[in-house]
Amino acid sequence: MNIIRTLLICAIMGIVIMPATAFSLEDAKYISAVFEKKVLELPMMAWLVPPDIIITNEKHKTITLYSKSKTIQTATYVKVLSKDEVTIIRNKYGVACEDLPAQFAHPYYQYKFAKKLEKQLKDADRVFYTGKNLKKSVTAGYTYKDLDGRTTNEVKKLKEFSKQEYLHNYFAIQPKGSPYVYSFHGLYKVKTKELFRQGVILHDTAGKILARHFWEIEEETMCDGCGIPLYRNQYPKFSHLDMNYLFFLINTFSFPDFPYPLLMLDTGTIEGRASSLITFSSKGTYSEHREYEYIVNCLPE
C-alpha cells in the first residue's frame, strides 16, 4: 500500500498520526506490574461502536471502562458476536481489526452500558477496560491549568531546554481530585520550526518538578509517512489545540495503587490505532502501558 493512499484513508477515517518516537518505552513494566499485582489483570482494548455497543475479545460478566468520559462506566455482557456481525461492524467502523475476516482466531463479545449514556456515541472509539470493577476507587477527568512564572522559569532551567535557541509551546493539566499537575512541552528549531524534542513533566501542587521524561525527534525514527511536526501558534490561549498532534490527551485517571495519576493518550500511527496509559513511579521513573491494533486489515479495498 503506497503512502499517499494510506494518508488519504487516514484522513477519511479520522486517524490521528503520531510520531513513532513520541511514546517510546523506558520502563513499561512498572504500570503492568502494579496492575498485575493489585488488580490481577492488565487494562485491555475495547471498541465502542455507535450508538452504544461495546466489543471485547474477552468474556466477563461485567467490565469497567476507562474512556474520555468524566465518569467511570461499567458494561454488562450480552452475547458472542457471530463472524458475520463482526465483519459488518469491521467494514463500517474499522474496529476489531486484529485478524482477517476469514481468519478470526478468537471470538468477539458484545456488552451494553449498565446505565443509559448521556449522549449517544457518534463515532467508533477505542478504550481501555478491566474485568474487575474499579468504578468506586478510580477518579476520572482533568482541567487545564496555567503554569505560573516561577514554575515556567524552573522548567526552562532544565538541561533539555539549554544549549540552543528554540521555539517553545506547552500546555498543562490537573487531574480531578489530585494535587499534581502534568505539563506537556514541545521544542522546535527556530529556522525550520521543526520539532526536535518533546516531553512531559510532573509537578507538585506548588509547581516543584517531581519527574520528567523527554524524547528526541529525528526523521529517520519517525513512523512511515509521518513527517516531523511543525511549530503551531494558532491558539495562543488554548495551546493544547496547537499540540494535540503531539500529545492527544484522552483523559486522566487516579488509581489508588499508583502514587500519581495515569494519563490516557491516543498514540496511534498511520498503520495502527493505539491508546497508552503513562505515569511516573514513586522514584520518578517514566512508564507506559500501550495497547496497539494494526488496522490495515480493516482498510477499504
Instruction: State residue 232's pLDDT score.
Output: 86
Of the two residues 187 and 295, the one the predictor is more confident about is: 187
More confident residue, 30 or 244: 30
Residue 16: the pLDDT is 38
Gap between the Cα atoms of 269 and 12, Å rounded: 14
| DSSP character at residue 53 | E
Cell of 93: 467502523
Element (H, E) at 241: helix 239-242
Cell of 114: 449498565
Cβ neighbours around 13 below 10 Å, total: 16
Residues 193-202, mean pLDDT to the nearest whole number: 94
- pLDDT confidence of residue 104: 65
Q: Which amino acid appears at position 266 of this protein?
A: D
Mean pLDDT score, 142-161: 94
- Mean pLDDT of the region 14-38: 62
95 burial via Cβ count (<10 Å: 0-12, 13-18, 19+): buried
pLDDT at residue 17 tops 60: no
- Reported as a single tens digit per residue, the pLDDT across 258-271 is 999 999 999 887 77
Interval 129-146 mean pLDDT: 93
Name the β-bridge partners of 100.
none
Band the pLDDT of 225: cuts 50, 70, 90.
low
| pLDDT of amino acid 262 | 98
Degrees, nearest 5: CA angle 139-144-145: 115
pLDDT confidence of residue 26: 46
Please, is 77 exposed, middle or buried when counting C-beta atoms within 10 Å of its C-beta (0-12, 13-18, 19+)?
middle
Taking residues 232-239, report their average pLDDT: 74
**Residue 226 pLDDT level (bands cut at 50, 70, 90):** low
Q: Higher confidence at residue 280 or residue 217?
A: 280
More confident residue, 119 or 216: 216
Residue 101, class by beta-carbon neighbours within 10 Å (0-12 exposed, 13-18 middle, 19+ buried)? Answer: middle
Pairing label, strands 286-294, 181-188:
unpaired
Residues contacting residue 301 through CB under 8 Å, at least 6 positions apart: none
Q: Please answer whether residues 23 and 42 qualify as being in contact, where contact means their C-beta atoms are separated by less than 8 angstroms.
A: no
Work out the percent of the chain whose per-residue pLDDT is above 90.
Answer: 55
Position 148 scores a pLDDT of: 94
What's the rounded Cα separation, in Å, for the pair 292 and 274?
Answer: 4
Task: State how far Cα 169 lies from the chain centre.
Answer: 20
- Alpha-carbon distances, residue 184 vs 19, 30, 144 (angstroms): 15, 21, 11
Mean pLDDT (the chain, rounded): 84
Q: Cα(233)–Cα(190) distance, rounded to whole angstroms?
A: 13
- Do residues 108 and 42 touch, judged by C-beta distance below 8 A? no
Q: What is the pLDDT of residues 47-57, one digit of tens each?
A: 999 888 999 99
Residue 15 has pLDDT above 50, yes or no: no
- The yes-or-no verdict on residue 115 having pLDDT over 90 is no
